[in-house]
Amino acid sequence: MTLTPRPGILDISLYVGGRSSVPGVEKVWKLSSNESPLGPSPAALEALKTAASDVSAYPEGTARILREAIGSAENLDPDRIIGSGDGSDYLLTMLAAAYLTPGDEVLFSAHAFLVYKIATLANSARPVEVAEKTTNHGIKVDVDAMLKAVTPRTRLVYIANPNNPTGTYLTSAELRRLHVGLPKNVLLVIDSAYSEYVTASDYEDGTKLVTEFDNVVMTRTFSKIHGLAGLRIGWAYVPTEVAGILNRIRGPFNVGNLQARVGAASIGDRDHLAKAVAHNEKWKRWLTDEIRKTGLRVDDSVANFILIHFPEGPKNAKAVDEFLCARGLILRGVGSYKLPQCLRLTVGPAEANELVVAALKEFMGS
């Protein structure tokens, strides 16, 4: 007898993260995973040292230390916060496991985070990828197309805001228009992994929507601006009823002592977060301007990365990727996101940013 997984699982393509090395190249700059060039805050590193003595004990089961720190920093009700010791990815997949049944439909945009499709298929539901639109600022989620794609089988709508890998975002008005157009039995999941980087005045991260409505949740992560990708800490802000559901199915000790204490220290260090935002704004703007001078299209971005478009022919994305890798500069190919002629560049340290621009100018000028 052959063991058979539930329908949909064998249709999942394995997720492949950004490369971290190049064969034969000793010194590399990893600009492929949207990691923080500033790293963790000093407060987080000190908490890591202190918490190391607690690794032999089970953690407190509700992640109380982490939830209360988040609630204090973000002015949110800790009872409506769900912690995760496996990043926000775990929360995105847990929501799918909680609310999807075989044959249900899940909407997300065509160039959205690959985990949405994985979570959908893993729960025998049907992924519905909605085409995005090209604007003067870049490739963007099309609210009208999303609403048109809703059917009686729709149960979840995933929206990354800002979106990875395009770097674009829905304004507060657009996000609310999307929500208003959804049936009340459809859960809107707002993935705000890059929200701390956004400085636009017409942006909202989703917390107000969660407070106002019972069919909206928002997820966040410590992997990006907090520089704690290696600890895999995430959190969600959810309606009270959703919190009751997720607390029933999450692991009983799903946030470790190290994660809870380091995350709590990090979110309280507002000075470090402000430095990370300032560094990102300065270098993102510089990278965008300098790369555009080569004649390449660079979309506007509100996150900590930019999307660079390359032409067909000898100077295509594959050719420039090989050229950069040979010089120790690793960007992210986004063919799996249906953008085969693009590379995503994470804003890095000053030296790395300057090296990338110099290499692109050399390549495009050759």
**Residue 1 predicted with pLDDT over 70:** no
Last residue of a domain, one of 247, 268, 289: 268
Express each pLDDT in 66-92 by its tens digit.
999 999 999 999 999 999 989 999 999
Express each pLDDT in 270-299 by its tens digit.
999 999 999 999 999 999 999 999 999 999
pLDDT value at residue 17: 76
**Residue 339 predicted with pLDDT over 60:** yes
The vertex-31 CA angle with 25 and 36, nearest 5°, equals 130
pLDDT value at residue 14: 80
Express each pLDDT in 178-221 by its tens digit.
999 999 999 999 999 999 999 999 999 999 999 999 999 999 99
pTM over 0.85: yes
Q: Based on the domain organization, do 284 and 357 belong to the same domain?
A: yes
Mean pLDDT of the chain: 95
CATH of the domain at 330: 3.90.1150.10
Number of domain units in the chain: 2
Q: Where are the beta strands (DSSP E) in the chain?
A: 29-30, 81-84, 105-109, 126-130, 133-134, 139-140, 154-160, 187-191, 216-221, 234-237, 297-298, 305-309, 329-330, 332-333, 342-346
Q: Which domain holds residue 52?
A: 42-268
* 119 within some domain: yes
| H or E element that contains 106 | strand 105-109
In the chain, % of residues over pLDDT 70: 99
Last residue of a domain, one of 204, 233, 268: 268
Could you count the other beta carbons within 10 Å of the beta carbon of residue 309?
A: 15
Q: Based on the domain organization, do 221 and 302 belong to the same domain?
A: no
Q: How far is it, in rounded angstroms, from Cα 115 to Cα 101?
A: 18
Q: Based on the domain organization, do 140 and 226 belong to the same domain?
A: yes
Helix (H, G, I), strand (E, B) or coil at 61: coil
Last residue of a domain, one of 221, 236, 268: 268
pLDDT value at residue 2: 80
Express each pLDDT in 105-126 by its tens digit.
999 999 999 999 999 999 999 9
Express each pLDDT in 141-188 by its tens digit.
999 999 999 999 999 999 999 999 999 999 999 999 999 999 999 999
> 2: number of CA atoms within 13 Å, CB side?
3
Q: Based on the domain organization, do 26 and 55 belong to the same domain?
A: no
Mean pLDDT of 19-39: 89
Q: Based on the domain organization, do 223 and 355 belong to the same domain?
A: no
Binned at pLDDT 50, 70 and 90, residue 7 comes out as confident
pLDDT value at residue 333: 96
